Amino acid sequence: MNNNIDWKKYFIVFLITIGLFLTAGYLSNYLGNKKIDQLKSIQDKIAIDILSSETQFSLLSELSCKNVSGSLLSGELEELGRKLDWGQDNLGSTEEVSYLKKYYSLLQIKDYLLMKKISSSCGVKSAFILYFYTTAENCSLCEEESLVLTSLRNKYEELRVYSFDYSTDLSAVKALLKIYKIKDTELPALILDDDLLTGFHTLEDLESRVKKSFKLQETKPPAGENQSDKKSS
């Protein structure tokens, strides 16, 4: 009977298995870092673009609106947002991902301020929603509201949605929360045309509000229209 147990082999296989685990861990970590680097480079690019748009706007706003409105960044910001969310779920909530999320929030605020300025100065038809949610606790209404906003954004190109995690530790986000008096018990919360909407809002409800916002803009002439028209002609 072959009942001799080769303990050495059991041990060697154990070591090989440990080695395979460590290699898999290293590989996963390495590729994870590559993805974080990718996120960083997208973010840096967006930061430069926003800074460039701001500068361009400052230089040219008094001359022409045409050039400035061409540099809309919503697509890239949106993609970055999706990648960051995925990164948070799949790469683990590493310090780097949460740092990138802070940076992303800041970029969104800058984009929001710039786009609002362009919209009012150049008469670009647009609507803005600031959306506050939480990941600190299970918020099923937040998940549903996110779906509604994604659907709405897909439908209206001119609609820009900026999402902020309530628990983001960034003074600029905290300032927004303070300005609009948003409490963590009222999430999800939305700011549309400076109105605070708390709790879940249906697609139909938000759609009618967005349309109303577009209508208001049509009746209101842009602030810098006469001036820029004169100068560009």
By C-beta, is 86 or 99 nearer to other proteins?
86
Q: In which residue are the tokens 């439908």 written? A: 155
Q: How far is the CB of 71 from other proteins (least distance, A)?
A: 21
By C-beta, is 154 or 233 nearer to other proteins?
154
Residue 226, H or E segment: helix 225-232
Q: How far is the CB of 3 from other proteins (least distance, A)?
A: 3
Residue 92, H or E segment: none
By C-beta, is 62 or 89 nearer to other proteins?
89
Cα–Cα separations (whole angstroms), residue 25 to 85, 91, 182: 22, 12, 41
Interface residues with other proteins (CB under 8 A) are: 1-5, 9-10, 12-14, 16-17, 20-21, 23-25, 27-29, 31-32, 35, 38, 83, 86, 90, 143-144, 147-148, 150-151, 154-155, 202-203
DSSP-assigned letters across all residues of 162-196: EEEETT---HHHHHHHHHTT--GGG-SEEEETTEE
By C-beta, is 5 or 233 nearer to other proteins?
5
Q: How far is the CB of 192 from other proteins (least distance, A)?
A: 18
Half-sphere exposure of 91 (CA within 13 A, CB side): 23
Q: How far is the CB of 79 from other proteins (least distance, A)?
A: 9
